[in-house]
Amino acid sequence: MEPSEAGLPKTIKQRSNNPNKDADLSTLSLAIAAKWKTSPHITLVWISQPEYESMVTEFGKALSTRQITGSGRRELTAKLKSLDHEINQGISVLKVYLAYKYEKAHAPSYYPQFGIVKKGTNYKLPGDRSKRLAALQLIPHAVAVHEYGDEKYGSAFWQQVTGSYQALLEKATNIDGTVSVKVSVKNELRKTLVETHNALVHVLKANYPGTWKAVLREWGFQKEKY
């Protein structure tokens, strides 16, 4: 041991009285709400058992809603990814069309009309969702101007793809907004639950100085510290 370390007290790692995972906290909260209901002698000045139990219910609902909404977002993400594949394939063909009509060396000068931008050494549509939609909206007009409207990757293809992309992106944006609100509500509820649990632990320790470990387990704290 270095001389500078001699006599220094060892650092004790403290853990929380509350689980890190929201699902585990919900389970703990339900147990506490049930036990508190049958223990009216345990009180906190700033929150009552009925108020706490109501928050526990709301916390559980917020978790369920977020999970359901999140699963819908994953489905949209998968559909957008699939559509991206079709779009990238279509852009590759459009570049072939342009190279054939205007020669390979001159083709890139026409790319901006199709929303195609240079990224590194490659030419492609923007990766950002909003910018990609803006680029897609240029293509139906561009293919008509350059007389590719009747081709496989002509007007009909790009109108359909652009419409589908816009619809999916709007749904995804709406879900993201909903999830953001739900997460904010859930986090505020979690904060109050955690504060309540910590306060109850102190009250139980004060009321049961000799048996508080067993009492904590009765209240749902399966471990003194998580």
CB within 8 Å of 24: residues ≥ 6 apart: none
User: Residue 172 falls within a domain, yes or no?
Assistant: yes
Q: What is the DSSP letter of 151?
A: S
User: Residue 139 falls within a domain, yes or no?
Assistant: yes
Looking at residue 12, what is its pLDDT? 43
List, run by run, the mean pLDDT of 10-residue segments along the chain (226 residues): 50 68 95 97 97 97 84 90 96 96 95 95 94 97 94 95 96 89 92 97 96 95 64
Looking at residue 167, what is its pLDDT? 96
Q: Identify the helix (H) or strand (E) that includes residue 132.
A: helix 129-136
Report how far residue 151's alpha carbon sits from residue 173's, in angstroms, rounded to the nearest whole number: 32
Looking at residue 223, what is its pLDDT? 65
Q: What is the DSSP letter of 122?
A: E
CB within 8 Å of 75: residues ≥ 6 apart: none
Looking at residue 24, what is its pLDDT? 94
User: Residue 226 falls within a domain, yes or no?
Assistant: no
**What's the number of domains the chain is made of?**
1
Report how far residue 198's alpha carbon sits from residue 200's, in angstroms, rounded to the nearest whole number: 5
pLDDT, tens digit, 9 for 90 and up, residues 192-201? 999 999 999 9
pLDDT, tens digit, 9 for 90 and up, residues 110-135? 999 999 999 999 999 999 999 999 99
DSSP string covering 203-217? HHHHH-TTTHHHHHH
User: Residue 225 falls within a domain, yes or no?
Assistant: no
Looking at residue 72, what is its pLDDT? 83
Long-range (24+ apart) CB contacts under 8 A made by 114-122 are: 114/138, 114/139, 114/142, 114/143, 115/139, 115/142, 116/91
Looking at residue 221, what is its pLDDT? 92
Looking at residue 163, what is its pLDDT? 97
**Residue ranges making up the domain that contains 182:** 21-37+47-218
User: Residue 96 falls within a domain, yes or no?
Assistant: yes
Phi, psi of 103 (to 5 degrees): 75, 145
Report how far residue 165's alpha carbon sits from residue 169's, in angstroms, rounded to the nearest whole number: 6
User: Residue 14 falls within a domain, yes or no?
Assistant: no
Report how far residue 27's alpha carbon sits from residue 220's, in angstroms, rounded to the nearest whole number: 9
> Quick one: the chain helix, strand, coil %, rounded to 5?
70, 5, 30
User: Residue 7 falls within a domain, yes or no?
Assistant: no
Residue type, 41: H
